């Protein structure tokens, strides 16, 4: 599914995030709205597709145990090192996401899958795997690449491309990696079929437009981001949609 090899020592995924302070911080703002209000060190979380541990700095403030799950052992080694630098013993599981339930011997209170769904063409199976590793009433925080974001909708209306508005996923693959934008309504249908209840959703990275990020300071954009994530989710406005889901 991925043409890029994350185990390749010459490929540095951490560099992808260089110059992406707005997106990175916008996602942290969203996560803080979806994570538990009261910190409970008895709770655990699994970060699915967590790679080098980008989300460890936020999870460490909410959970007593963090597990990073990824297909790349090289990235998991980096995640362990990230945790070590923060004085945290991060657990890791190296496995295919489609075999998640059989690879994990532990059940979790929270699961997160951020910046991963666009690499997956069988999300229904993945949602069922995640359901299987959650405790009763466990919480799943999901991010999807949103096919129906405002800029894309306007562009395809202008082109008269009405086929774009079907619920099929759309490939925007690059030479490096498979990338699928998903229709949020279809994703929500899959989640319900997998046994999840949608508790909250947010529209994220709403101002990730080149001319906006070029002329406005990141701090100003993040203030507007924080204020609009909730209301804009009703319109599926942004390029990323975050969900807080509960296992029924």
Q: Which residues of 81-103 are buried (b: 16+ CB within 10 A; e: fewer)?
A: ebbeeeebebbbbbeebbebeee
Q: Sorting pLDDT into bands at 50, 70 and 90, what band is 83? A: very high
Q: For residues 74 and 67, what is the distance between their CA atoms, to the nearest angstrom?
A: 15
pLDDT at 102 over 70: yes
User: What DSSP character marks residue 178?
Assistant: -
Q: pLDDT tens, 180-192?
A: 999 999 999 999 9
Contacts of 70 (CB under 8 A, 6+ apart): 6, 49, 50, 51, 76, 79, 92, 93, 94
Percent above pLDDT 90 for the chain = 83
Q: Sorting pLDDT into bands at 50, 70 and 90, what band is 15? A: confident
Q: pLDDT tens, 113-144?
A: 999 999 999 999 999 999 999 999 999 999 99
Domain boundaries, the chain: 13-247
Around Cβ 143, how many Cβ atoms within 10 Å?
22
Q: How far lies 64's CA from each of 14, 39, 90, 159, 206, in Å?
A: 25, 9, 10, 51, 32
Q: Which CATH architecture has domain 13-247?
A: 3-Layer(aba) Sandwich (3.40)
Cβ atoms of 143 and 230 within 8 Å: the answer is no
Q: Report residue 41 as tokens.
A: 């060190």
Percent above pLDDT 70 for the chain = 92
């Amino acid at each position: 599914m991925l043409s890029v090899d994350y185990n390749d020592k010459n490929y540095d995924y951490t560099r992808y995030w260089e110059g992406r302070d707005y997106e990175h911080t916008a996602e942290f703002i969203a996560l803080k709205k979806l994570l538990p209000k009261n910190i409970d060190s008895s709770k655990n979380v699994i970060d699915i597709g967590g790679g080098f541990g980008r989300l460890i700095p936020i999870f460490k403030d909410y959970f007593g145990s963090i597990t990073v799950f990824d297909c790349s052992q090289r990235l998991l080694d980096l995640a362990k090192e990230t945790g070590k630098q923060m004085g945290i013993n991060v657990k890791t599981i190296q496995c295919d996401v489609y075999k998640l339930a059989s690879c994990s011997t532990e059940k979790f209170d929270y699961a997160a899958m951020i910046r991963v769904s666009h690499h997956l063409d069988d999300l229904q199976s993945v949602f069922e795997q995640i359901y299987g590793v959650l405790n009763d009433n466990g919480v799943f925080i999901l991010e999807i690449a949103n096919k129906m974001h405002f800029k894309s909708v306007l562009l395809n209306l202008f082109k008269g491309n009405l086929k774009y508005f079907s619920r099929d996923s759309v490939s925007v693959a690059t030479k490096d990696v498979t990338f699928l934008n998903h229709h949020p309504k279809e994703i929500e249908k899959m989640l319900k079929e997998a046994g999840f209840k949608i508790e909250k959703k947010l529209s994220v990275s709403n101002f990730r437009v080149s001319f906006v990020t070029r002329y406005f300071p990141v701090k100003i954009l993040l203030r507007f981001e924080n204020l609009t994530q909730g209301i804009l989710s009703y319109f599926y406005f942004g390029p990323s949609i975050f969900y807080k889901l509960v296992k029924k």
